[in-house]
Structure 1
Amino acid sequence: MTETQPRSAAGASTGSSSSGGRPALVWWRPDTWPMRVLAPLGYWASTRLIMIMMVFQTHEDSTGEVNRLYQSWAHILQGGSYPIGDTTWQYPPGAAGVMLAPLAIPGVNYVLGFIVVTLLADLVVMAALLRYGTRPERSLAGAWVWLLMLPLMLFIPYARYDVIVTFFAVLALLWLQGRPWLGGGMAALGAMIKVWPAFAVFGAPRGRSLWQVVVGFVAAAGSLVAIAALLFKGSFGFLDEQGNRGVEYESLPGSALLVAHHFGYQGRIEYRFGSLEVVGPYVDEIGKAMLVASVVGFCWLLLWRLRARTFSAATPADAALAVVLVFITTSRVISPQYLIWVAGIGAVCLSFKSTTQRPIVGILVLATAMTSVEFPLFFQSLINGSAGFQALLLARNVLLLVATVWSCVRLWRSTVPGRRHRHAAA
């Protein structure tokens, strides 16, 4: 007994074991990683290899957007200008960094460089969710959501740059409490690439940390805008092209018009402003109505922000998911890669045991699987007028609408005191 006591004491002093006799988890020492960490890593490696193979083996022109658009934009940006006058360039100034990043990968062509950058962003998101999920009062369910939802989209995550954008939103949400200024800065960098990561700070709790979030956000956004204006011409030309967009066929009203075509609606699908849009009667009025719906949705979210009083650790992520869903369902455009956004935010939500969004994330997993059936698997059939696949697209959008309303309701009930609570406090 006298020999074992010093050994135990020595083990405790070096940190080689944790309570219960298990080795302490040290992130830079893989031999200390438990199976609950090793299993997700193995799943990530195998699924991502298959997804990358799909990029090159699928019969669809999966690398077309990267090869034709991203690469051509990168060459223009190398000359010191944004793609001025290009109707397909509809992104904020920070997107220049994403387009140029693949050129910094040595020894590979642009497409391979883009995949390397996207793969690294995916890996960092997964590692961050794993590390965060092993903490007390946290859960690894979030890491599994990210690991499972991306493969449901087949090759899409590695053929678009939305994983890179989601990287900034996920890190912003994870850092929002412990490092609020850094969380605000990451949200701003993401917003300067594709606007929506700004919603990561919408649910930040009140108090001193909120001011740190705001300072970090403003400082990062201002710095990036100044750098973009200094290095490139036409930093904000994207605003004109974004405003010209119509009703895209995958949006909520667009899918309804496709189904209405089988009941006599006279409309067609055309390629305009970088996407396939519905052209026909009432489309302009529907587009304006969707803008009104977006304004109404964000007015409700502002009301929630003013009325919310009870903030848990999960509230910023829960609020971000609700805001992004409102943004998606009221938009005139919905693309398959938008599901990457909700995969990342939903993963952060489920990293907290106190989240209110667990059933909403379940709906989004189903919506993601349905999206892959519509695109890329049976895209041509849908475009050619298949009633079944068009009905599936509409059903997917109805699911997204249900998820949006339910997410907002659960967010409100968990943070805004009810009448009874207010009377009791009085």
Structure 2
Amino acid sequence: MDTKGTGRSSAWLLATWGVTRVVLLLFVFRVYAFPGPDVTSDVSVIYRGWYEALRQGTFPLDDVTWQYPPAAALAILSPAVLPFLSYAHAFFVLACVADLVVLALLRYAGRGPGRSSRGAWVWVAGVPLLGPTVYARYDVMVTAVAVAALLAGVRHPRAMGALTALGALLKVWPALLLVGAVRRRAWAAAATTAAGVALLFTVTMPGAFAFLTFQRDRGTEVESLGALVFHVARHFGWDGQVLLNYGSIEFLGPWVAQVSTAALVLTGAAFGWLLLWRLRAGRPAPYVLADAALTAVLLFTVTSRVISPQYLVWLVGLAAVCLSHRASRMGAPAVLILLASFVTVLEFPLGFSHVVLSDWYGITLLALRNGLLVAATVTAARRLWRATVAPAGAAPFPPQATRAEETPVSS
């Protein structure tokens, strides 16, 4: 075993993480100004306002921008553990800590037979590509929970279920991690944890599930796939508007409701495909748990009425987990996600004014970013299907020898 080579690789990994994260912290602490709109205002203004309401033992019921499940309160309240810092500075530090936790988990998961350090490198490289927005949203904290859940899933299905439920109560999307889970214990643990935590919030804090109404009333956000229709339509006389609505910049006007409905239909179709895959896949190899999770979240993201820049943090984290398995088929989707992350920072915050104006530069950036995400989604879905669903009369892929590289899930 080449311990010297492994040590050098770890040193480079940590050094790269350290340098890039110091740069991110310098931007969010406003030591240096990142071009474009100030991405930290969500923390210093919106999150801080929610913090004050949550401290009083109630959710911010009079604020329609509160569109998150009840456990999100834990993330918003978390800066209280660092009382010697301002709210915003404490939040940024905790976001960086969550980033480091993900790196530690991926580095540990990358050791052993059938594992790879590629996953850790995907995380180290992917996060700074998104710019300071990563530390100015609580999505990196949710991603840390999701990564822990997936890495626990192979050997500890109950732990995976509990962590998945916690993640879903932080920001819904981690519920999709269970798509590839075949053990009833994972589902049972998720259901039990979700019910218990939800009941606790319902009893102790009014308005725990008011976010469902706020989410239902959202329109088509300017960065979503469906928004491209209206960006182009504005050049041909469409008389709608671009306004701040429900906490994001959205299109309002003729045909917006129809496009939003079409997005919901596409999401439904995506879930139908996932159900069909689950019924046809049988008992997949352990690495498929992460591959299926990435595919599911990609499908959810590209069909959503909203594609905020921080959504890419989820995809980078899940892609990193996939690539910590040598047998994973998600190499090409991971590269596409990294490219989309770089284009995302060009679109927001650097070129966001062009996106809002629907000029051709903004449309090009948005089309390129969303096109990369669609390509990643189609590629991931195709590879997942081909790797797990056998043609009629054939044995499923991969063969048993490949499956043996990873520790099987116990019954």
Q: TM range, normalised to the smaller chain?
A: over 0.9
Does 1:224 find its partner at 2:197? yes
**1:347 — aligned with what?**
320
Q: CA deviation at 1:106?
A: 2.7
Consecutive unaligned residues of structure 1, counting only runs of 5 or more, are 1-18, 24-31
Deviation of 1:117 (Å): 1.3
| Counterparts of 2:21 and 2:370, CA distance in 1 | 27
- Counterpart in the other structure of 1:395: 368
1:53 aligns with 2:30: no
| C-alpha distance after superposition, 1:288-320 (max 9, x if no partner) | 111111111101101111110251221011000
Contact between 1:142 and 1:346, CA under 8 Å: does it hold in 2? yes
**Aligned twin of 1:126:** 103
Paired residues in the alignment total 392
CA distance in 2, matches of 1:398, 1:33: 37
Among candidates 150, 154, 166, match of residue 189 of structure 1:
166
The reply to whether residue 272 of structure 1 matches residue 249 of structure 2 is no
How high is the TM-score relative to the length of structure 1? 0.89
Instruction: Give the aligned partner of residue 131 of structure 2.
Output: 154
Q: Quote the offset at 1:417 in angstroms.
A: 1.1
Kindly indicate whether the alpha-carbon contact (under 8 Å) linking 2:40 and 2:133 is maintained by their aligned counterparts in 1: no
Structural mapping, 1:79-98, within 5 Å: 79-98=56-75
Partner of 1:215: 188
Segment drifting more, 55-64 vs 170-179 = 55-64
Contact 1:126 1:143 in 2 (8 A): yes
* SS in structure 1 at match of 2:131: coil
Q: What letter matches 2:141 in structure 1?
A: I
Q: How much has 1:201 moved relative to structure 2?
A: 1.7
Unaligned runs of 5+ in 2: 397-411
Partner of residue 385, structure 1: 358
Q: Deviations over 1:348-384 (max 9, x none)?
A: 0000011111101111111111111110112123323
Q: Does the CA contact (< 8 Å) of 2:224 and 2:304 recur in 1?
A: yes
Which residue does 1:373 correspond to in 2? 346
Residue 83 of structure 1: how far off its partner (Å): 0.8
- Residue in structure 2 matched with residue 144 of structure 1 by the alignment: 121
Counterpart AA for 2:104: A
Distance 2:209 2:141 in 1: 21
Residue number in structure 1 paired with 2:16: 43
Provide the C-alpha distance between the structure 1 equivalents of 2:216 and 2:77, rounded to a whole number of angstroms: 25
**CA distance in structure 2 between the partners assigned to 1:129 and 1:159 by the alignment:** 22
Quote how far apart the aligned CAs of 1:219 are.
Answer: 2.3
**Residue 44 of structure 2 corresponds to residue 67 of structure 1:** yes
Runs of 4+ in structure 1 off by over 6 angstroms are: none
Deviation at 1:422, TM superposition (A): 6.9
Aligned counterparts of 1:147 and 1:63: Cα–Cα separation in 2: 21
3-state DSSP of counterpart to 1:89: coil
Describe the SS at the equivalent of 1:123.
helix
Residue number among 258, 265, 282 corresponding to 1:292 in the alignment: 265
* Partner residue in 1 for 2:329: 356
Match of residue 101, structure 1, among 59, 62, 78: 78
Q: Which has the larger radius of gyration?
A: 1
The equivalent position to 2:142 in structure 1, one of 153, 160, 165, is 165
Contact 1:202 1:319 in 2 (8 A): yes
Query: Structure 2 CA distance, aligned partners of 1:377 and 1:406?
Result: 28
Q: Given the two structures, how large is their TM-score scaled by the length of structure 2?
A: 0.92
AA matched with 2:101 = V
Q: What is the root-mean-square deviation in Å for CA atoms of aligned residues?
A: 1.6
Q: What residue in structure 1 maps to residue 404 of structure 2?
A: none
Task: Provide the rounded CA distance (Å) in 2 between the counterparts of 1:39 and 1:366.
Answer: 22
**Deviation by residue 1:2-41 (Cα, 9 ceiling, x = unmatched):** xxxxxxxxxxxxxxxxx57x48xxxxxxxx9711111111
- Give the whole-Å Cα distance in 1 for the aligned partners of 2:379 and 2:236: 31
Aligned pairs (5 A) from 1:233-312: 233-312=206-285
Q: Is residue 319 from structure 1 mapped to residue 292 from structure 2 by the alignment?
A: yes
Contact in 2 for aligned 1:310/1:416 (Cα 8 Å)? no
Q: Which amino acid aligns with 2:59?
A: Y
- Cα 1:417–1:94 change in 2 (3 A) is same
| Distance in 2 between residues matched to 1:310 and 1:187, nearest whole Å | 20
Q: Which moved more, 1:380-389 or 1:109-118?
A: 380-389
Q: Secondary structure of the equivalent of 1:155?
A: helix
Identical residues among aligned pairs (%) = 40
Contact 1:313 1:352 in 2 (8 A): no
Rounded Cα–Cα distance in structure 1 between residues aligned with 2:207 and 2:250: 26
Between 1 and 2, higher relative CO (CA 8 Å, sep ≥ 6) is seen in 2
Q: Distance in 2 between matches of 1:184 and 1:264?
A: 50
Deviation at 1:340, TM superposition (A): 0.2
CA contact 1:259–1:391 (8 Å) conserved in 2: no
Distance in 2 separating the partners of 1:287 and 1:381: 22
Tell me the residue number matched to 2:7.
34
Residue 180 of structure 2 aligns to a residue whose secondary structure is: coil
